Structure 1
Amino acid sequence: MARGRRAPTRRACEGAVMDLRGRTVLVTGASDGLGLESAVALERAGARVLMTARDPAKGARAVARVQQEVPGATAQVVALDLADLASVRDAAEDVHRRVDGLDVVIANAGVMMPPERRTTADGFELQIGTNHLGHFALVGLLLPLLRQQPGSRVVSVSSLAARGGYMDLQDLQWERRPYDRQQAYGASKLANLLFAFELERRLRAAGAATLSVAAHPGVSGTNLMSTMRVPSVLERLSKLVMASPRQAARPQLHAATAPGVVGGEFWGPKGLGEVRGRGVAHATVPSNALDQQVARDLWTASEELTGVTVDLPSPTS
């Protein structure tokens, strides 16, 4: 794919999800926002959905919402705190006990711009620790289940913020530099893309039938505005131009379920600036996500930091 260029647009997707009866899908961060909307759509298409939630009470309410929207839904909650590697390992073991294979993992959960530098249970900067390292460990631990299912997919949910992200592997945890929450968020979402593309290269090198795909929602009116502590008037005005969570979930649903999706693709809204749109199209890949050496170095650092070694060969450069 050309550096910084938009790939050819495919036919717009209006949010329809293919028949998923007999398929098992895990969605992280499914207690609200894009994750919950994705869970509803997947259940409606007949999938067995595992919904991860950090808060058990919120998880129970999310399952109730899915059951309200889709009578007869069988969605289940998996307890998961991506900011705690012990919880990630427990969640992966729980999933291994429940299912013999996974067809899709949608790595959707994330945190956005806390007001000051915070750390995870393992001492990582909160945004890189949750958005990237937690998902890296989870996908690595679930990869044997994914490889049981031909055509399975890992969908890494990135952001438009990845365009301004910079990966400083010498200070991944923001311990040496003055903390900039916006730059730290952009770096964590760039890490999602670097991981998605490196995972795809390693899957191909292994001859695996699993695909790694990325997506971004554009700009969505989720609960992240409250996390950013913007004035309520600005929040209300912003939501007038933002996509609804249901609309914003379409790119990741397309990446997870649409026929013809190819590993290494990046999907987003089909609209001006990829901010929002009723359809789905190939997204512009930031040039900073195409550096394969940085991707390999980030992979190595992620294995060392999480203690999760992913059983895939490193591709030749």
Structure 2
Amino acid sequence: MSWTTRDMPDQHGRTALITGANSGIGLEAARALAARGAHVILACRSEDKAAAAMADIQRKLPDASLEFLPLDLSSQKAVHESAAILRSRHNKLDLLINNAGIMWVQRLLTDDGFESQLATNHFGHFALTGLLLDLLVDVPGSRIVTVSSIAHRGGRICFDDLSLASGYSRQRAYAQSKVANLIFAIELQRRLAAAGAQTISVACHPGVSGTNLVNPGVIEQSPLKIGALVKLIMPLVTQSPKNGALPTLYAATADVTPGGYYGPARLKETMGPPTEAYATRYARDEEIGERFWHMSCALTDLHYPA
């Protein structure tokens, strides 16, 4: 299969919200959806960066229909405020792409008491999706796309120590947040199907893509002073954000399986055109999905509509 953006169906009349759409994969997804006629809402922390991203899109697509939504996924209060703003502007959504994320940062607890990678990558999106779900469930063809990672394969939910106080590492925390994304997407689909909703939940991952997700400081602080080497070889072993966005766009617009997981087809899912991806048995486990769902509801004080 060699699916590209040229294979995307027309998106006129559809409204898409993309978190973290000011750079990288989110920006490329916004660009591609706008080119097909969608009204794209760029949900970002920085209005200046979102404005720059919209200007970048409109340089080649002057008629692109774009909108900024302030969103700080690390704060539950901010997520509620952003959802309220969105609801005041729109009465339906066709597409929600849970794309934003942080990676390999030092241990930090948010104001809500969550480890920051899990707070931003999972709990923020879990709350946002729940707060906007009624704008999607009755919309024909609507989708919720959640971006996970190859790193989910090494992830486990530390149910008794979500903040990893007893053994934190940047990689372990990131893997936990990414398996959380995939568990959420799959469990959400189970619940949508049981409720007879029109919307579906799908997951994807970008392979290894050369975005700004990794803070340059993390590379500089890498062990054995290999930061310079990493920066040198990264362009050789990563694909562009434009190509990295293809699994997201495929999950969002192509003929997919509800609850499916999609990623690059080549070199052990690191790059190439989108296809079905490998989801670990752990991520697909129904008991783990239900347990983590109820824990997420309790910790965010959010209960999804039936």
> What TM bracket, shorter-length normalisation?
over 0.9
1:195-225 per-position Cα deviation (integer Å, ceiling 9, x unaligned):
0000000001101111000000000000123
Q: CA deviation at 1:227?
A: 5.3
Specify the code of the residue in structure 1 equivalent to 2:286: Q
Q: Any gaps of 5 or more consecutive residues in structure 2? A: 221-226
Is 1:61 matched with 2:52? yes
Is 1:284 matched with 2:278? yes
Match of 2:248 among 246, 252, 272: 252
Between 93-102 and 75-84, the greater mean CA deviation after superposition? 93-102
CA distance in 1, matches of 2:213, 2:42: 19
- Tell me if the contact between 1:113 and 1:185 (Cα under 8 Å) persists in the aligned partners: yes
Superposed counterparts of 1:1-317, under 5 Å: 11-16=1-6, 17-114=8-105, 116-175=106-165, 177-225=166-214, 226=216, 228-230=218-220, 231-258=227-254, 260-277=255-272, 279-312=273-306
Q: CA deviation at 1:310?
A: 0.6
SS at 1:25's partner residue? Answer: strand
CA distance in 2, matches of 1:69, 1:301: 45
- Higher RCO (CA 8 Å, separation ≥ 6 residues): 1
1:25-81 per-position Cα deviation (integer Å, ceiling 9, x unaligned):
000000111000100000000000000110111111111111113111121110000
CA distance in 2, matches of 1:123, 1:212: 28
Structure 1 consecutive aligned stretches of length 4 or more whose deviation exceeds 6 Å: none
Q: CA deviation at 1:229?
A: 2.4
Percent identity over the alignment is 45
Between 76-85 and 283-292, the greater mean CA deviation after superposition? 283-292
Task: Assess, with a 3 A threshold, how the Cα gap between structure 1 residues 227 and 219 changes in structure 2: closer, same or farther.
Answer: farther
Task: Assess, with a 3 A threshold, how the Cα gap between structure 1 residues 59 and 111 changes in structure 2: closer, same or farther.
Answer: same
Q: Any gaps of 5 or more consecutive residues in structure 1? A: 1-10, 313-317
SS at 1:149's partner residue? Answer: coil
CA distance in 1, matches of 2:213, 2:130: 27
- Tell me if the contact between 2:148 and 2:179 (Cα under 8 Å) persists in the aligned partners: yes
Aligned twin of 1:5 = none
CA distance in 2, matches of 1:182, 1:56: 29
1:273-304 per-position Cα deviation (integer Å, ceiling 9, x unaligned):
00001x11100111221111111111111111
Q: CA deviation at 1:311?
A: 1.2
1:239-274 per-position Cα deviation (integer Å, ceiling 9, x unaligned):
22201000000001000011x212111000111200
CA distance in 1, matches of 2:198, 2:107: 39
Task: Assess, with a 3 A threshold, how the Cα gap between structure 1 residues 309 and 296 changes in structure 2: closer, same or farther.
Answer: same
Root-mean-square deviation (CA), in Å? 1.1
- Tell me if the contact between 1:51 and 1:77 (Cα under 8 Å) persists in the aligned partners: yes
Q: CA deviation at 1:233?
A: 3.8
Q: CA deviation at 1:122?
A: 1.3
Specify the code of the residue in structure 1 equivalent to 2:37: G
CA distance in 2, matches of 1:294, 1:192: 13
CA distance in 2, matches of 1:228, 1:213: 30
CA distance in 2, matches of 1:216, 1:65: 24
CA distance in 1, matches of 2:37, 2:270: 30
Specify the code of the residue in structure 1 equivalent to 2:20: G
SS at 2:100's partner residue? Answer: coil
- Tell me if the contact between 1:217 and 1:248 (Cα under 8 Å) persists in the aligned partners: yes
Between 194-203 and 61-70, the greater mean CA deviation after superposition? 61-70
Q: CA deviation at 1:98?
A: 1.2
- Tell me if the contact between 2:282 and 2:288 (Cα under 8 Å) persists in the aligned partners: no
TM-score by length of 2: 0.95
CA distance in 1, matches of 2:60, 2:19: 19
CA distance in 2, matches of 1:150, 1:286: 30
CA distance in 2, matches of 1:228, 1:195: 28
